[in-house]
């Protein structure tokens, strides 16, 4: 029997800078394509034309004097825009939305890293984002030293190649990232049904296989894949 309008599916990826999200997002995209599923991807901050301007302000090293509350407000300004412009319509049309960072990043970076706390982040998420929750969040947690070395290397290369300076967060001290990581772990513990943590020094292919297994289960549960495929 043909089912009624399929529910959209909202997947988010989280982790420290340099945690391997980009590679895993690409591999998940190839996996979804292999099933011919309708999916889109967005990233935060950015992903809309208004969001790209917010991103430039947020990530530029020259924005060094930005107050933590300003930073928090801009992350949510960006998110409110991308939800209205892209995420909500795609979910309403029954699509799969894969998002590179969402409110867990704000809780980890601004709540944890900048020490603004979780409460204000969760409150703003509820007020400004309709408390939209992902169906599944993949949290990548390779050893912190590896992530940071990769992120700092990458930013230097990007800047040399494109002239774009997106290094404001990568320039933070290790203590900042330890607080971010601790908050990610706290979120994973609190939201253990939603968050799948991939912890430790795992090979790319092993991480990809675990993500695919979990996503496939969810796709079957929500009717995006039927018995026959
Ligand atoms: P980006 O280049 O997208 O980093 P990555 O490829 O590692 O995801 O930069 C996003 C930066 O913004 C990253 O350092 C994390 C930070 N960030 C926050 O601090 N709060 C947020 O809510 C989001 C979405 C990102």
Question: What CATH number does residue 22 fall under?
Answer: 3.40.50.300
Model confidence at 169: pLDDT above 90: no
The pLDDT-based confidence of 64 (bands split at 50, 70, 90) is confident
* pLDDT > 90: percent of the chain: 80
Range of the domain at 101: 9-221
Give first-to-last CA distance, the chain, whole Å: 15
The contacts of residue 192 (CB under 8 Å, 6+ apart) are none
In a domain, 122, yes or no: yes
The pLDDT assigned to 227 comes to 64
The pLDDT-based confidence of 83 (bands split at 50, 70, 90) is very high
User: What is the average pLDDT across 11-40?
Assistant: 96
CA–CA separation, 50 vs 44, rounded Å? 12
In a domain, 228, yes or no: no
Taking the model in full, what pTM does it have?
0.94
| CA–centroid distance, residue 168 to ligand 1 (Å) | 10
User: What is the average pLDDT across 97-126?
Assistant: 98
In a domain, 182, yes or no: yes
For residues 123-148, b (16+ Cβ closer than 10 Å) or e, as one string?
ebbeeebeeeebbbbbbbbbebeebb
| CA–centroid distance, residue 73 to ligand 1 (Å) | 14
User: What is the average pLDDT across 119-134?
Assistant: 98
Between 62 and 11, whose confidence is greater? 11
Ligand 1: lining residues by beta carbon, under 6 Å: 17, 21, 43-45, 59, 75, 100-101, 105-106, 109-110, 166, 169
In a domain, 17, yes or no: yes
Highest mean predicted confidence (pLDDT) among 156-165, 170-179, 212-221 = 212-221
Pocket test for ligand 1, best of 109, 142, 147, 187 (most atoms within 8 A of CB): 109
In a domain, 83, yes or no: yes
In a domain, 227, yes or no: no
In a domain, 3, yes or no: no
Average pLDDT of the residues of the chain:
93
In a domain, 165, yes or no: yes
User: Is residue 210 within a helix (H) or strand (E), and if so which, with residue range?
Assistant: helix 204-221
User: What is the average pLDDT across 195-220?
Assistant: 96
At residue 98, φ and ψ (nearest 5 deg) are -110, 120
Indicate the number of domains in the chain. Answer: 1
């Amino acid at each position: 029997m043909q089912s009624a309008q399929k529910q959209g599916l909202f997947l988010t990826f989280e982790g420290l800078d340099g945690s391997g999200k980009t590679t895993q997002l690409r591999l998940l995209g190839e996996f979804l394509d292999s099933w011919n599923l309708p999916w889109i991807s967005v990233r935060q901050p950015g992903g809309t034309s208004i969001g790209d301007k917010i991103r430039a302000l947020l990530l530029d090293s020259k924005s060094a004097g930005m107050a933590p509350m300003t930073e928090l407000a801009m992350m949510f300004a960006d998110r409110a825009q991308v939800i209205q412009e892209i995420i909500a319509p795609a979910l309403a049309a029954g699509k799969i939305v894969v998002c590179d960072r969402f409110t867990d990043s704000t809780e980890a970076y601004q709540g944890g890293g900048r020490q603004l706390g979780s409460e204000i982040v969760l409150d703003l998420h509820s007020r400004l984002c309709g408390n939209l929750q992902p169906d599944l969040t993949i949290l990548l947690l390779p050893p912190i030293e590896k992530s940071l070395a990769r992120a700092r290397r990458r930013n230097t290369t990007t800047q040399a190649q494109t002239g774009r300076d997106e290094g404001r967060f990568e320039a933070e001290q290790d203590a900042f990232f330890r607080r971010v990581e601790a908050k990610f772990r706290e979120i994973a513990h609190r939201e253990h049904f939603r968050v799948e943590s991939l912890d430790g020094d795992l090979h790319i292919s092993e991480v990809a296989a675990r993500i695919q297994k979990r996503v496939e289960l969810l796709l079957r549960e929500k009717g995006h894949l039927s018995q026959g495929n």
